[in-house]
Each structure stands twice: as C-alpha cells, then as structure tokens.
Amino acid sequence: MSEASQLIEVRDLVVRFPIRDHGKRTVIQPVDHVSFGIRPGEVLALVGESGSGKSTIARTLLRIVTPSAGSILFDGQDVTRVKGRALAQYRRNVQMVFQDPFSSLNPARTIEAHLSYPLRKHHRLRGKELGDRIDELLERVGLTPTKDIRLKYPHELSGGQRQRVAIARALAVSPRFLVADEPISMLDVSIRAGVLKLMDDLRAAFNLAYLYITHDLASARYFGDRIMVLYGGRVMETAPSDDLIRNPSHPYTRLLLAATP
C-alpha cells in the first residue's frame, strides 16, 4: 500500500497531559505511539475499553488536542501543528460526530440554523439555493424536510433524529473524513442499526472515510473494513474486520472477543 493512497496517516502519535496526583505534578500518556492510516472511503473501527485513549485520539485528529509527539498527515500534508488558515482548511475536511448528539448541537438554535450556518460560511449559499441544500441534507440523513422539522430545536427531536441532524451538520461542509466517537452508544438499541446504516450509505455516496470509535465489536465488524484494538493507549493489533474476529492474534483481542456476547 503506497503512502499516497492514504487520506489520513498518523505516525507514532503520543499525547501527554500534565496532571496533579495527590498534589504532585506528574504526566499521563493516554496515547502511546499510535500509528495508522485510512484510505478515502475506508472505515477504520477503533475498539478498546473505557479509558484506553479512544476519545483522546479522536480529539487529537480534530486538532482540539495538540500531539506531544508524532505526526498527522492529511492528503499528504503535515497538519500536526498547523495554525490559522491551514488549520481552518484542515477542519473543513475533518468533522466529528459525538456520542451525545447534544454535544454537536446548540440548544438555542433551530435545525435550519444549524445547517444554514456552515452552508453560508463554507459554501456561501444564500436564498433559494440555501433552502434547497438544507432540504437535500435533511433528506440525505433520512429526515423529511418539512417546515415542522426545520423550525424545531434539538430538544424537540428524538435521540435518533438528533444524531441524524448532527451528522447532517457535519456533512454540510462536505468533509472527506468523519471521526465518529461512539455515535450510537447513547441511542435506543432499536434505532442504532438505522444510524449505522446511514453512515455506511454516506460512505458510499461521498467516498467518505471514517474513524469509527466503539466498544462494541459487532458494530465494528459490520461497519469497519478493518478493526484496530487499543489497550492502555497502545495499538494491540489492526486487521481486516473478519480476520480479526475469526482469528485474533493478540491475547487482549481474544479476551475482548470472549467478553462479547
């Protein structure tokens, strides 16, 4: 696999946080020399127990957290420490969907306002063109684009509808890469499959790449082309989903599989 075929490439990523432990200054390292690549349109599922560093990797990819060491390449460009305009441009290509859809949404803004803001700012749409694009986005995520839904506030929607709006908002800037941090784990079990299927449809429609974070191996297998297993901030193994499930090479993966119903 040539490096040029990667959309995102993470090399030897290290994240450290200074903390106080019993009043003493110390440092924790939740991400410990992590490397992976994701091709355009590919889904890499990241699994690991709570506290293993998954969300820290997500936030570092979004450049909400600055890496302590290592590098992040996007489309061949080093974005590890870029600032200003280069950072803004990178962030248009990389969007995040959170576990709690309220984290992506502003309680004081209507659904229409959530979608019109990025469309105005990044695509400079106005008037009818803007309205049409909002309806198209709502339809794209499986919501009927009625006036009723456009003028609702996030708390007036169901959990699944809210996550669909959060996904539509992420899509509004036409990203090439989505980081989805446990996007279905707070949803009712009955609607999880629908949201996962939507993300899978979007991958095909837009050649969208994903880092799909989950602690659920079944959904990792369904959605992920490959699965990467994280433990204590380190990558234990990465393999095509079916291979990893059928023939895990690391003892921790076998433990994880044995714990899965």
Interface ranges with Mg ion (CB under 5 A): 54-55
Residue 54 Cβ vs Mg ion, minimum distance, rounded to whole Å: 5
Residues 232 and 172: their CA atoms lie apart, in Å, by 35
b/e for 188-205, b at 16 or more Cβ within 10 A?
eeebbeebbebbbebbee
For ligand ADP, the binding residue among 48, 160, 224, 248 (CB under 6 A) is 48
CA 204 vs CA 50, 87, 132, 154: distances in Å: 30, 27, 22, 27
Residues 69 and 261: their CA atoms lie apart, in Å, by 38
Task: Count Cβ atoms below 10 Å from residue 217 Cβ, excluding itself.
Answer: 22
Instruction: Show the tokens assigned to 190.
Output: 């009955």
What angle in degrees, to the nearest 10, is found between the helix axes of 159-171 and 189-206? Answer: 20
Please identify, using beta-carbon distances, which residue of 51 and 240 lies nearer to ligand ADP: 51
Please identify, using beta-carbon distances, which residue of 54 and 176 lies nearer to Mg ion: 54
Please identify, using beta-carbon distances, which residue of 53 and 67 lies nearer to ligand ADP: 53
Q: Pairing state of beta strands 77-78 and 69-74?
A: antiparallel
Stretch of 48-56, 91-99, 125-133, 191-199 lying at the interface with ligand ADP (CB under 6 A) = 48-56
Residues 95 and 102: their CA atoms lie apart, in Å, by 15
Residue 65 Cβ vs ligand ADP, minimum distance, rounded to whole Å: 7
Residues 6-35 that bind ligand ADP (CB under 6 A): 17, 19, 28, 30
Query: Per CB under 6 A, does 67 bind ligand ADP?
Result: no
Please identify, using beta-carbon distances, which residue of 55 and 219 lies nearer to Mg ion: 55
Stretch of 54-62, 131-139, 150-158, 216-224 lying at the interface with ligand ADP (CB under 6 A) = 54-62
The interface partner of residue 255, options being Mg ion, ligand ADP, none and the CB cut-off 5 to 8 Å by kind, is none
Q: Are 249 and 99 in contact (CB under 8 A)?
A: no
Query: Per CB under 6 A, does 103 bind ligand ADP?
Result: no
The interface partner of residue 145, options being ligand ADP, Mg ion, none and the CB cut-off 5 to 8 Å by kind, is none
Please identify, using beta-carbon distances, which residue of 16 and 133 lies nearer to Mg ion: 16
SS3 content of the chain, % helix, strand, coil (to 5): 45, 25, 30
Element (H, E) at 30: strand 24-38
For ligand ADP, the binding residue among 52, 60, 80, 253 (CB under 6 A) is 52
Q: Note the residues at the interface with ligand ADP (CB under 6 A).
A: 17, 19, 28, 30, 48, 50-56
